[in-house]
Amino acid sequence: MSSSSGQPSTGTTERYGYVVHGAVCSGIGRARWAMSPERSHAIESLTGWAPVPGTLNVRTTEEPERIAEAMGPAPWAIEPENRNGPLRMWPVRVTVGTIETDALLVRHTRSRTRYLEIMAPIHFRQFGARDGHLAKIAR
């Protein structure tokens, strides 16, 4: 869903308590290499599914840290493996086109990325997600 300006809209309330709309975008490729076996196992023990390497990146009109604040305290966090601080995680439902799955919105405490990062049990791009496709993140 887009606003009348054609920009992705953010922060609407629907069936879920908080819904963010944005557009799939490319990242810098760092998340694919940052997923250690220990971190993957920790996420699987919390969620019941193993995350695929990398993240789905979603650009929104609102700052990612504001969105994280609006979603409330992160129910899970993993201690840092790097200088970016703890990895905070919120369970979400992500939809891109006809692809929909449970996932995690993830954010390092000291992250400076200008987009949201989503860990999921599927690789969205293998199912046809491309830069510019609209994404819905619901919590």
Give per-residue pLDDT as tens, 51-73: 998 889 999 998 898 998 899 99
Mean confidence (pLDDT) of the chain: 83
Give per-residue pLDDT as tens, 11-52: 444 556 899 999 999 987 666 555 778 888 889 999 999 999
- What class has domain 19-138? mainly beta
Q: Which has more pLDDT, 38 or 137? A: 137
Backbone φ and ψ for 130, nearest 5 degrees, come out as -135, 160
- The pTM (predicted TM-score) of the whole model is 0.81
Which pLDDT score, from 0 to 100, does residue 119 have?
93
Q: Calculate the CA 41 to chain-centre distance.
A: 18
Q: What span, in angstroms and rounded, lies between the C-alpha atoms of 12 and 30?
A: 30
Q: What span, in angstroms and rounded, lies between the C-alpha atoms of 79 and 59?
A: 25
Instruction: Report DSSP state, residue 8.
Output: B
Which pLDDT score, from 0 to 100, does residue 114 have?
85
Average pLDDT of the segment spanning 92-117: 89
